[in-house]
Structure 1
Amino acid sequence: VCLSQIGLILILYVVGTAWGRMSLARFARAVAPAQVVAVSTQSSLASLPVMIERAREWLGVPQTSAGLVLPLAVAVFRITSPVANLAVCLYVAQLNGVDLSLSALVAGGLTAIAVSIASVGLPGQVSFFAAIGPICLAMGLPLGVLPLLLAVEVIPDIFRTVGNVTADLAATRIVAGEDGAGEDAAPETDPAS
């Protein structure tokens, strides 16, 4: 699950820099403080103030765009959830020796997307059963092992939150597009230094 999240985060860096039209180094410096908050709190919502600040000061996103796109993204755009939740279900299938058909995989993928949109942005330990259970049921998987997996949910949830924060900032920069001040307006050094 963690490897799937790391892969997704790397893809988000590529997307954020390519479509956001900025250098990898600048994007990485811009998202790093929000990622630190994400690691320490496991909450995209707690990272929101830092994300708004970094979007304005480092990504060149106007206040109006940052103030609209980021709260909306935090509320509904959890790109890492379908990937992570489906990875958990694939692990459950492997653990129980269940061979999944293409229809089970499609049902699981569609359910994972629906659950991620409908779920509340709470730490994974709180929403674990509500997020994973429906996907397992759609794929015909047993639920008995889920309480054991909850014990190690903290580590994958850190990667999920970092990925969501990275995706939210990338999406905000991309949405700002030409309205943003662009790479030239972003500071070369941290304004606090």
Structure 2
Amino acid sequence: MKLELHWKIFIGLIVGFLFGFFLPEHVSYIAWMGDLFLKALKMIIVPLLLTSIISGIMNIGNPEGLGRMGIRTITYYISTSLLAIVTGLFLVNMIRPGVGADLKFSQTVEGLAVATESFGSTLINIIPENIVRAMVNGEMISIIFISILSGLFATKLDEKYKNVIQNGIQAGFELTMKVTQWVIGFTHWGVMAIIAVVVSKTVQEGSITDLFQRLGLYMITVIAALAIHAFITLPLLLKFIARVRPIRHFHAMSTPLLTAFSTASSSATLPLSMEAMEHNAGVSNKVTSFVLPMGSTINMDGTALYECVAAMFIAQAYGIELTIAQQVIVVFTSLLASIGAAGIPMAGLVMMSVVLTAVGLPLEGVGLILAVDRILDMFRTSVNVWSDCCGAVVIARSEKEKLPKLE
């Protein structure tokens, strides 16, 4: 009997964890597999974004249809991110993991102030000075902007030119998906190596027991809030708004979700998410090619939740009681930061610094949580990808698509 890919990936996760934990000094022998896998995924992203978005917009066929879908997509993104943040805020106020935290274990964070200055220019940088440079540098928001613009104006060309472009773009998309399916076949090997590297670094940096004693309650708070959002809030949206079975959709998305967990990268997981949405869930390319690329860049439920919890933890650790008004500011800055930080170097730290600065908390507080940031990044990225995939189903249903595979 042939083992399904998601089971291979799960086994790869377990083997990678055991390898990294018991043989941390030998991880270098397999680390190259993870590097190659990530490079292969990132190689696909730009052609996939360009061809899928342009193809999707041309399939929609008119600006009115695109505008309708765009408004629904943005509404979903903002709503689910706010629900995630409020969940995190409730739990962190109830558990209060920062009370009594040891400030001596704060780590130095370099380059935070410099990175923060670039946050305000994010909107301006959506329009690239050089299209080729934007593609080479992997500037996701700029690439999405170029793709949407190209797709919109391609629909206004004469029919003979439009058909040529549409056929060429569709052929490019199909070719990219063939390459994607080939890369997906090696996912379990890449996941095994990536997890082994992460675990070995954690083991070599010091006592894991000591780490969990100092930050265990904080980690539990973040993971519990993420779990509530992923396994209660989003499934309820699938059940009552999209009218599909959440369990079936979760099973259909198992490969991209496990990959997101191991790579901690929404962008790197995008090719797998698109492939799974179309082939496993049955969502049309028209919806998938518009909703998922946008979501991988600006819809970050897990990250927004994490920023809110981390800011509250830092405030509690320093003995600072935030007022209701300040907590509302934390909620909205977490939302805005999660949307606006895409493409900025040190994005996670930039997002955190924006939230902390908004309520007058010390930037040095970021050093308190750096030790477990990579571990929690795996969980929040999985939630980011899961929210994108749920969003695609919700939007597909709003566009009157039938999804028999999920019913």
Question: TM range, normalised to the smaller chain?
Answer: 0.7 to 0.9
Separation in structure 2 between the aligned mates of residue 122 and residue 66 of structure 1, nearest angstrom? 25
Deviation at 1:148, TM superposition (A): 3.2
Unaligned runs of 5+ residues in structure 1 are 189-193
Cα drift, residue 16 of structure 1 = 2.6
Judge conservation of contact 2:298–2:339 (CA < 8 Å) in 1: yes
RMSD across aligned C-alpha pairs, in angstroms? 2.0
1:23 CA displacement: 1.3
Aligned residue type for 2:287: S
User: Could you tell me which of 138, 161, 164 is aligned with 2:358?
Assistant: 138
- Rounded Cα–Cα distance in structure 2 between residues aligned with 1:187 and 1:144: 47
Distance in 1 (alpha carbons) for counterparts of 2:402 and 2:280 = 10
Q: Which runs of 4+ in 1 moved over 4 A?
A: none
Measure the CA separation in 1 of the matches of 2:406 and 2:349.
43
How far did residue 122 of structure 1 move?
7.9
Cα distance in 2 between the residues matched to 1:136 and 1:53: 38
1:7 match: 228
Deviation at 1:14, TM superposition (A): 2.4
Query: SS in structure 2 opposite 1:153?
Result: helix
CA–CA separation in structure 2 for the residues paired with 1:133 and 1:65? 34
Q: Distance in 2 between matches of 1:121 and 1:20?
A: 31
Local SS of the residue matching 2:321: coil
Whole-Å separation in 2 of the counterparts to 1:150 and 1:170? 30
After TM superposition, give the deviation of residue 150 of structure 1 in Å.
1.4
Tell me: CA distance 1:173–1:122, structure 2 relative to 1, closer, same or farther (3 Å).
farther
User: Per-residue deviation at 1:2?
Assistant: 2.0
Choose which of 249, 257, 279 in structure 2 pairs with 1:35.
257
Q: After superposition, what is the alpha-carbon deviation per residue over 1:133-164, rounded to whole angstroms, capped at 9, x for unaligned?
A: 11111122122231231121012111111101
Which amino acid is 2:267 matched to? L
Q: How far off its partner does 1:187 sit?
A: 8.2
State the match for 2:339 in structure 1. 117
Q: Residues 147-166 of structure 1: matches in 2 within 5 Å?
A: 147-166=367-386
d(CA) in 1 for partners of 2:318, 2:298: 32
Instruction: Label 1:9 to 1:31 Cα distance change in 2 as closer, same or farther (>3 A).
Output: same
What letter matches 1:154 in structure 2? R
TM-score by length of 1: 0.87
Over 3 Å counting, the alpha-carbon distance change for 1:187 and 1:76 in structure 2 is closer
Partner residue in 1 for 2:348? 128
- Bigger mean CA deviation after superposition, 63-72 or 16-25: 16-25
Alpha-carbon distance in structure 1 between the residues aligned to 2:256 and 2:344: 17
Equivalent residues in 2 for 1:14-33, closer than 5 Å: 14-33=236-255
Q: Distance in 2 between matches of 1:96 and 1:53?
A: 46
* SS state at 1:152 partner: helix
**C-alpha deviations, 1:4-42, integer Å up to 9, x for none?**
212211222222333222113211101211111101110
- Does 35-44 or 17-26 show the bigger shift? 17-26
Farther off after superposition, 114-123 or 157-166: 114-123
**Contact residue 104 and residue 140 of structure 1 kept, 8 A:** no
1:65-80 matches, cutoff 5 A:
65-80=287-302
Structure with higher helix content:
2
Distance 1:33 1:69, change over 3 A: same
Question: TM-score scaled to structure 2, two decimals?
Answer: 0.43
> Cα distance, 1:121 vs. partner?
6.1
Answer whether contact 2:264 2:377 (CA < 8 A) is retained: yes
Which one has more relative contact order, counting CA pairs under 8 Å at least 6 apart? 1
Deviation of the 1:43 alpha carbon: 0.6
2:244–2:406 CA contact under 8 A, matched in 1: no
Q: 1:160 to 1:122 in 2, by over 3 A?
A: farther
